[in-house]
A and B are shown apart, each in its own frame.
Chain A
């Protein structure tokens, strides 16, 4: 158990809908990262937050957004969902967000029908 928690574990929704994925980092970690993992791709970095501020952006679609709250938990919002958004979404956290080891949560499996 890494200490990173993610909810929900599974999510089934329809195309065009919007969902919110939630992540709580390890105690003491200030930085949160979001990744997408689909069957034909590796881990795709989406976005990083550090202490409430966006720090780095990866291949995140405009339909997706994220934020980190004062209590350091983070949410990833996915809107206008398409079939191709079906994937595992992982959150990771690290102490200072400076490229050190990241600790991953168990993931949220999203299925868009």
Chain B
């Protein structure tokens, strides 16, 4: 496969470990956040979202945490599997009046068996 970025931060983990991917955002008015997963050669795929009135949201094997005080978002993946290897992007909606999402640069997650 091909990479989507030459200088992405990379997180390498062993299969079965828990992974934490972090994202900082700059706009305190941002009210909606999404994590996307992009596998090599494919389009970004929705994983989980969270609104600014929440601190935590859980999905299947994934949890998103939002810390509005320090403008930080994290994605936790439990029992990471080789199929989780991908680039992960956070995206934010910057608040009322914004009809688009702003995407972060992405983090590459590499899972070894």
Which residues of A are in contact with B by a Cβ distance under 8 Å?
2, 4, 31, 33, 37, 39-43, 45, 48, 50, 55-56, 58, 88, 90, 92, 97-107
> Which A residue's beta carbon lies closest to that of B92?
A99
Task: Verify B49–A101 contact, CB threshold 8 A.
Answer: yes
Best-buried of B43, B44, B93 by chain A (most CB within 10 Å): B43
Q: Note all chain A residues with C-beta closer than 8 A to B32.
A: 99-100
Q: Note all chain A residues with C-beta closer than 8 A to B49.
A: 101
Task: Verify A97–B99 contact, CB threshold 8 A.
Answer: yes
A4 to B43, CA, bound (A): 10
A103 to B25, CA, bound (A): 21
Q: Note all chain B residues with C-beta closer than 8 A to A90.
A: 43-44
In-complex Cβ contact of B101 among A42, A55, A99, A105 (8 A): A99
Task: Verify B101–A102 contact, CB threshold 8 A.
Answer: yes
A39 to B101, CA, bound (A): 20
Task: Verify B44–A33 contact, CB threshold 8 A.
Answer: no
> Which B residue's beta carbon lies closest to that of A97?
B99
Task: Verify A2–B43 contact, CB threshold 8 A.
Answer: yes
Task: Verify B100–A99 contact, CB threshold 8 A.
Answer: yes
23 sample A-B contacts, Cβ–Cβ < 8 Å, listed by A number = A4-B43, A33-B100, A39-B4, A39-B5, A41-B5, A42-B5, A43-B103, A45-B102, A45-B103, A48-B100, A56-B100, A58-B100, A92-B43, A99-B32, A99-B93, A99-B94, A99-B98, A99-B99, A99-B100, A101-B34, A101-B46, A106-B42, A107-B42
